[in-house]
Chains A and B, each alone.
Chain A
């Protein structure tokens, strides 16, 4: 095979990969970004995570010959969020919980007061804070199931957990959130 033919073949393969990548990015970018945003509650960090996920996807795309890359994408996003949270080490300073899982005074102090927001918005704000303060894997499972609407089987496949354990973790995650919200609502 001549050098020109090799180059032409290479260019064709590259163009196919690039098309597939663009298609996947178009399909999943909002979901990846949302997953990261609700995990970290930080637009800049969520953008960094999204970029990291798609750079990794491009580098590994040639290995994904068949099947949906969704589980891989969600798993990489979850791991990138955990790394970002660990590096930043400040999401716990924004939203902290005490031993009983209640929001602390410091967390309340950075949240807008009821005079600025309607009650529904404030409740939503509390939910978002509480969600970001949940530990793993509860946070990822609650986001994937309740916000992004994935099936249990998809979540189990993505996080490499048995199906029953996903259900148990989802229940525990909800319980923890409710416990946090009880403290806020009762005041």
Chain B
């Protein structure tokens, strides 16, 4: 029984030379390549060059990174060079503002919140406010006043209770129109005084 020999052309031989570098050729392909390069000078030269290239590349050394680079990067990770961003940021905003601008900012926030809340109550019905809406308005006002009190503590500014607190807290059972009138008018006075 005669052994069947596969013959390949130069293009196929070049492909096999490549695959051979990765040791991805079968025995049959290897035999075919061997017999081809025995008769083809250019493919034999190509194979020799490919093998020499692969060997040279694999022998290229891993280079040492200069030590000065490592030392240069050390300050980057030093904890002394950094401060927590959150702490510095939160102190920076208030520290950069004076007392009066802080109070003005707080009053504006209050104006926006209360104005928005009472405006939101308006479309319900003519002069009719549901208990749920009033409860919500009251809660929002209490939070706002607490916020203003905190601002007062921090800035040293004094907020007059009779101007803000009582008209805001008491009219729980009164219609929204009165609520808005009692609340917005004093606030407008405050903002006019501030500015």
**For the complex, is B38 an interface residue (Cβ under 8 Å from A)?**
no
**For the complex, is A38 an interface residue (Cβ under 8 Å from B)?**
yes
B46 touches A55 (CB 8 A): no
**For the complex, is A106 an interface residue (Cβ under 8 Å from B)?**
no
A146 touches B52 (CB 8 A): no
- Residue positions of A touching B, CB distance < 8 A: 3, 6-7, 10-11, 14-15, 17-18, 21-22, 25, 29-34, 37-38, 43, 46-47, 50-51, 54-55, 58, 123-124, 127-128, 131, 142, 146-149, 171, 174-175, 177-178, 181-182, 185
Contact sample, A vs B, 28 pairs, CB 8 Å cutoff: A3-B87, A6-B84, A18-B78, A22-B77, A25-B73, A33-B64, A33-B66, A34-B63, A43-B66, A46-B63, A47-B65, A50-B69, A51-B72, A54-B69, A54-B73, A58-B73, A58-B76, A58-B77, A123-B52, A124-B56, A127-B53, A127-B57, A131-B57, A146-B57, A147-B57, A149-B58, A178-B46, A185-B49
Q: How far is the CA of A54 from the CA of B73 in the complex (A)?
A: 8
**For the complex, is B95 an interface residue (Cβ under 8 Å from A)?**
no
Name, among A11, A30, A47, A146, the residue most crowded by chain B CB atoms within 10 Å (CB to CB): A146
Task: Tell which of B14, B54, B70, B84 touches A10, judged by Cβ atoms closer than 8 Å.
Answer: B84
Nearest B residue to A11 via CB reads B79
Name, among A30, A50, A142, A174, the residue most crowded by chain B CB atoms within 10 Å (CB to CB): A174
Interface size on B, residues (CB 8 A): 30
Q: How far is the CB of A61 from chain B (nearest CB, A)?
A: 9
Task: Tell which of B21, B53, B60, B66 touches A38, judged by Cβ atoms closer than 8 Å.
Answer: B60
B62 touches A34 (CB 8 A): yes
A51 touches B57 (CB 8 A): no
A178 touches B49 (CB 8 A): yes
- Residue positions of B touching A, CB distance < 8 A: 14, 18, 21, 46, 49-50, 52-54, 56-60, 62-66, 69-70, 72-73, 76-79, 82, 84, 87
Nearest B residue to A46 via CB reads B63
Task: Tell which of A7, A15, A18, A127 touches B84, judged by Cβ atoms closer than 8 Å.
Answer: A7
Nearest B residue to A20 via CB reads B77
B63 touches A30 (CB 8 A): yes
B53 touches A174 (CB 8 A): yes
Name, among B65, B77, B87, the residue most crowded by chain A CB atoms within 10 Å (CB to CB): B65
